[in-house]
Each structure stands twice: as structure tokens, then as C-alpha cells.
Amino acid sequence: MQYFAILGLLPVVLGAATTTLPKSAGAVATNKPIAVSGSFDGGMKMYDRNPSVCQGQSETGEADAMFVLEDGATLSNVIIGPNQAEGVHCKGTCTINNVWWSDVCEDAM
């Protein structure tokens, strides 16, 4: 019976998904990952790597991430651009609030 209850919620959960990015409040480009040790509120700006480090589905590492979050860090209100390879790396537990990806290169998180 529990399976039916979960399946009944599936349309509600799927209906909440969207493919429309929120409007960006600006853009930030960097040639290295942004390290976060506490809380980072990106103000709904698009954060991207320049130059691009995306290598398709080739496995890269932390150096090609957009954000590197230390244990306990919080990342909020950012749009991650397409030129990163690894998106967000969490070194332990982390909290992600209102984070959007314009495109996932190799890994989102």
C-alpha cells in the first residue's frame, strides 16, 4: 500500500519541475572555483567560468567546479552557467537553496 501512496504523489512532484531559468540579475565570470566556507548569497546572478573548463563527459575534478563548499556551507540564489565542468562540490554536508544550472557539463553536484 505504501507504494501506491508514493506513486500518487509523483504527478505533484513532477508538476513542480520547470525548465525556465529565472531572470539573471547580472553575470560573474571567474577563472577558478569560488570557495564558500559559510553562507554565500549570489543575488540571482549567473556565475560562470572563463575560460570554459567544460570537456563534455570527460571526468574532471574540483579545480573545474564553479563552487567548492566546505563542510556546513550554504549556497543560495545563484544561476550556474554552462562553462563549468563540475558545478558544485561539497566537502561534507552542505545546503543548496534556489540554485539553478543553465546547462550541466559533466556533473551538477
CATH of the domain at 68: 2.160.20.10
- Structural domain contains residue 54: yes
Helix ranges (H only) for the chain are 2-15
- Structural domain contains residue 7: no
The 10s digit of each residue's pLDDT in 21-54 is 999 999 999 999 999 999 999 999 999 999 988 8
Tell me, what DSSP letter sits at residue 20? P
- Structural domain contains residue 43: yes
How much is the pLDDT for 21? 92
Q: Which residues are CB-neighbours of 94 under 8 A, at least 6 positions away?
A: 69, 71, 72, 73, 74, 75, 88
Q: How many domains does the chain have?
A: 1
Nearest to 18 by CA among 109, 107, 100, 106: 100
How much is the pLDDT for 4? 40
* Structural domain of 62: 25-101
Q: What is the pTM of this model?
A: 0.79
How much is the pLDDT for 88? 95
Tell me, what DSSP letter sits at residue 3? H
How much is the pLDDT for 60? 74
